[in-house]
């Protein structure tokens, strides 16, 4: 791994927000490919924090500090990422959010940024978004897709609830429903009757482009 990416990774593992911000600024100044810096540097750091936490080597404060550090870096990098990735092949409109009970929003925001950069009209509803809010906002905004993020095995059940609620209201066919987040999979999407799953932000742009890009 490039030394610079390693430094970005370590800044997140150490939970050092100042260092993460300095490295993000350096990446911008040096016109680094921002998606690579995010995925090969900062995201590798938060994944390692997650592993250390799972192993019992880290406790909640370290998890929170790691999350703070990557969020600080991304607050600087996301706008530049949007500029670097700017393309205009998307025509679709969508709402995106992290499901109710779940406050993990780092990956969701990355997906949202990439979709906006690729020309989609994105309404980011934030995190801890209730089933009814997803459906009300999607109807109100006239979107063709509801994209949902879930990072917990408990909260991913809300993705099923969204599909069920759309069916109950007789409006399932109006929207493509996409699922994402670490515990999700193609199999999970099939099981709950969603229209698609993507493993990361790049795959999400491709998938959503295929599903609603031409509409």
| In the complex, least distance from residue 172 CB atom to ligand B12, rounded to whole angstroms | 17
* Nearest of 112, 12, 23, 21 to residue 67 by alpha carbon: 12
- Asked if residues 81 and 42 have their Cβ atoms less than 8 Å apart, the reply is no
Which listed residue (14, 50, 84, 123) binds ligand B12 by CB under 6 A?
50
Binding string, residues 59-78; x marks residues near ligand B12 by CB under 6 A = -x--xx--x-----------
From 18-26, 29-37, 83-91, 107-115, span contacting ligand B12 (CB under 6 A): 107-115
| In the complex, least distance from residue 33 CB atom to ligand B12, rounded to whole angstroms | 15
Task: Say whether residue 149 binds ligand B12 (CB under 6 A).
Answer: yes
- Asked if residues 69 and 11 have their Cβ atoms less than 8 Å apart, the reply is yes
Q: Is 51 or 140 the residue whose CB approaches ligand B12 more closely? A: 51
Query: Residue 72: how many CB atoms within 10 A of its CB?
Result: 21
Task: Report the distance separating Cα 59 and Cα 205, nearest Å.
Answer: 34
Task: Say whether residue 181 binds ligand B12 (CB under 6 A).
Answer: yes
SS (H, E, C) 71-84: HHHHHHHHHHHHHH
Q: How far is CA 137 from CA 64, 124, 140, 145, in A?
A: 30, 10, 5, 11
From 5-13, 14-22, 48-56, 163-171, span contacting ligand B12 (CB under 6 A): 48-56
Query: Residue 20: how many CB atoms within 10 A of its CB?
Result: 29
What is the binding site for ligand B12 (CB under 6 A)?
43, 46-47, 49-50, 53-54, 60, 63-64, 67, 101-108, 110-111, 147-149, 151-153, 178, 180-182, 198, 200-201, 204
């Amino acid at each position: 791994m490039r030394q610079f990416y390693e430094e970005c990774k370590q800044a997140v593992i150490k939970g050092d927000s100042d260092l993460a911000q300095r490295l993000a600024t350096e990446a911008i100044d040096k016109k680094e490919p921002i998606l690579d810096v995010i995925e090969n540097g900062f995201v590798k750091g938060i994944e390692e924090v997650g592993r250390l936490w799972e192993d019992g080597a880290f406790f909640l404060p370290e998890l929170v500090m790691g999350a703070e550090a990557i969020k600080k870096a991304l607050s600087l990098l996301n706008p530049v990422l949007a500029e670097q990735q700017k393309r205009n092949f998307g025509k679709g409109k969508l709402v995106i959010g992290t499901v109710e009970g779940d406050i993990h929003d780092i990956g969701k925001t990355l997906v949202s940024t990439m979709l906006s950069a690729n020309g989609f009209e994105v309404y980011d509803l934030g995190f801890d978004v209730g089933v009814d809010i997803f459906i009300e906002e999607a109807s109100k905004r006239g979107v063709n897709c509801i994209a949902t993020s879930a990072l917990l095995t408990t909260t991913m059940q809300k993705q099923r609830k969204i599909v069920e609620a759309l069916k109950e209201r007789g409006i399932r066919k109006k929207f493509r429903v996409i699922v994402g987040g670490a515990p999700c999979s193609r199999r999970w999407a099939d099981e709950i009757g969603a229209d698609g799953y993507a493993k990361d932000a790049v795959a999400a742009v491709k998938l959503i482009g295929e599903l609603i890009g031409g509409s």
